Structure 1
Amino acid sequence: MELPLLDPVDARPGPYACAYLDTFRDIPDPESVIACQGHRALVEEVSDPPAHDAARFSALPDVMPLAVQHAPDIPYAAVTVHRVAHREVGEPEELEVDLQAGRWPSSAVAPERCHRWSGPAAEWPRGATEIAGELAELVRRCGAEAIVLGGEV
C-alpha cells in the first residue's frame, strides 16, 4: 500500500520511536510522532485520540493508526486455513482453505465469491501450489494491496 503521507518515514532507515499521544490538554488535536536517528520523521494529527498514550521503539515504524486514518478503502485478499478432523468416521484430517477479496472497511461482505479448496492434510504440499496460484490470480484481479492470513492449523 502506498501512502504519500508516510514517505518521510519510508525515506529514513530505522529503528523508529513512535508515539501516539492525546495532546488535547495542550493543543486541540491528538498527534502521532514518529522519529528515527534523533530526528522527527513525521508529526501528524490523528482523527481520534488514542484510548491511552502509547510509545514504541522498534525496527519497523508503527504506522497502523495513520494508515487506517488515511487509507480507509484498502483492497485486500483474505486467506483462512482450517483443519477438519473426521475422527468419528476414521477418515484422515483435511485442510480447508478459503480465499476471498474485498475492500476494507467499506465492505462488510466481500464483493467476490469465496473460493474454497479442501483436501487431505497429508497432500498439503501439493495443494499449496494450486492455492498460491489461485491467490495470485485473485490478488491480480482485485488489485489487492494487502493479503490477510488467518485460521488455525
Structure 2
Amino acid sequence: MRLSFLEPLYKQTGPFASVYLDTSRDRLIEDPDAAIELRWRRLRAALTSEGADQDSLIAAAEAVGSDTNIPGAHGQAVFTAHGRLALLDELPDPPARDTAHFGTLPDTLPLVVQHSPQIPYVVVHVHYSGRHSTDAPGTVRIEAEIGLWPLTKVTPGHRVHEEIPVADWLNAAEVLGRELEGHARRIDAEAVVVAGDMWARGILVRRLPPALRGRVCTLEGAGESRPGRALLEHRLESLFSGRMAEHDRSLLAAFLAQRARDGASAEGLAPAVSALQRGRVKALFLNHHPESPLRLWAGPEPGQLALTEQELRSYGLQDVREERADAVLTRALVGTRAELVLVPDEQVRLHEGVGVLLRYAERTPRF
C-alpha cells in the first residue's frame, strides 16, 4: 500500500493531536449529533490531560462531526497541530473504540488500516425486470461505480448512470463495455463486479472487452444500494473481506521468495530499523497488533530512528524522544516513500511482527 495520502501531514511539525471517533449517523441512533458531542468531550478531556494546547483542541472540535453528508456507520480521523487542522479523513468503518493521543508524532496506523486493502474495482448493477427478449418494451438501467475499496464507502467513486431501451441493449452493451474498460484501465482495476438481472447482465459480460472479461465476478440478486454510500456496499464487503490487493500480494510474494533464499529481505524490528535508517526499504510488512508494546526512539527527521536513545545521540542528535514503534515506522515509510503491507498473522507470522523487502541486497564482500 502506498502511503502518499499521508505526505501532507508529515510535512507539518508536531506536536499533534490525533483523534479517532465514531461519527455514525444511522437509524439506530436517535440523536447522532448529541452522541458525537458526548464522545468528543471524553476525548477532549484525554487530550487535555496529555498536554494538548487549547488552540489545537478548538481546531479539532470544529472538524469533529462535520461529515453530516455521510450516512450510515463510519468514523473520522482528525489531526491538528499548532492550532490548525493538519489532516481530516473519513473512516469507512467506525473505530473499534474512540481514541485520542497528543504527542510528537501523529498516530496514523489506525487510519492506514482503514485504508487497507485499497482494491481498485468497477461494479456494475444491471436493473431490468422485463421479458428476456430484445423485442420486449421497457429499458435496461445501468448503475456503475469506479473506485477504491473500502474508501468508496465514505468517498464515492466515479458513477455512471445509463438508461437504454431493451431493443438497443445488444449494441449498447458493447459500447458500455468499452467505456468501462477505459475507466478500469485508468485505475488499474483488479475486479469487475457485475450484479442484477441474469439475462441482461449476461449480455453485458459477453460483450465486455477481453481485458475486462478475465476479471469479472458476477453476483446473484440485486442487493441494496444507499445514497451516499458505495454501490452494492454490503455485497462488496462480502466479496473483498479478508482479501489483499494484487499489488500487495505481489510484494508479499517477492518478500517470501527473497526470504527463502536469504536474499533482499529481513525480519524483526532491529533489521527493519537499520534498513529504514539507510533508506533501503521497498516495502515493510506488518502483522497489525493495535496494542503492541514495542517502542522506538526518534529524532526530528523520518530516517532518524533507533532502538536506543544512545544510538541516536551518537549521531549528534539532541532532540530525541521515545515513541510507539508503529508511529515511528509509519513516519519513516512516508519519508522514504516505501510501502506498507498489512499481513494477517494466520497468513504469514513475522518475527516481532515486522518484515522488510529491500530495494537491493547487500553485496557479499569478496576476499
Shift of 1:20: 0.3
Let me know the Cα RMSD of the aligned residues. Answer: 3.4
Note if 1:6 corresponds to 2:144: no
Q: What runs of 5+ residues in structure 1 fail to find an aligned partner? A: 74-103, 118-130
| 1:68/1:51 CA distance change after superposition, 3 Å | closer
Aligned residue for 2:88?
A: 43
Q: Secondary structure at the match of 1:115?
A: helix
Asked which structure has the greater RCO (Cα within 8 Å, sep 6+), the reply is: 1
Aligned residue for 2:259?
A: 115
Aligned residue for 2:79?
A: 34
Mapping for residues 9-88 of structure 1, pairs under 5 Å = 9-24=9-24, 25-26=32-33, 27=68, 28=71, 29-72=74-117
For the 8 Å contact 1:3–1:71, the answer to whether it is kept is no
Aligned residues: 101
Note if 1:150 corresponds to 2:351: yes
How far apart in 1 are the matches of 2:102 and 2:113? 20
Q: Secondary structure at the match of 2:113?
A: helix
Shift of 1:8: 2.5
Choose between structure 1 and 2: higher helix proportion: 2
Q: Secondary structure at the match of 2:95?
A: coil
Shift of 1:59: 1.2
Q: What runs of 5+ residues in structure 2 fail to find an aligned partner? A: 25-31, 34-67, 119-242, 267-274, 276-280, 287-349, 353-367
| 1:49/1:57 CA distance change after superposition, 3 Å | same
Match for 1:15: what amino acid? P
How far apart in 1 are the matches of 2:283 and 2:259? 19
For the 8 Å contact 2:259–2:265, the answer to whether it is kept is no
Match for 1:30: what amino acid? G
Shift of 1:114: 6.7
| 1:5/1:116 CA distance change after superposition, 3 Å | closer
Larger Rg: 1 or 2?
A: 2
| 1:2/1:113 CA distance change after superposition, 3 Å | closer
Once the two structures are superposed, what CA deviation does each residue of 1:15-61 show, in whole Å capped at 9, x if it has no partner? 11100011222344411100111111011100110122100011111
How far apart in 2 are the matches of 1:15 and 1:54? 17
TM-score (norm 2): 0.24
| Identical columns (%) | 37
Match for 2:84: what amino acid? H
Q: Secondary structure at the match of 2:105?
A: coil
Shift of 1:105: 4.0
Shift of 1:2: 4.7
How far apart in 2 are the matches of 1:6 and 1:23? 21
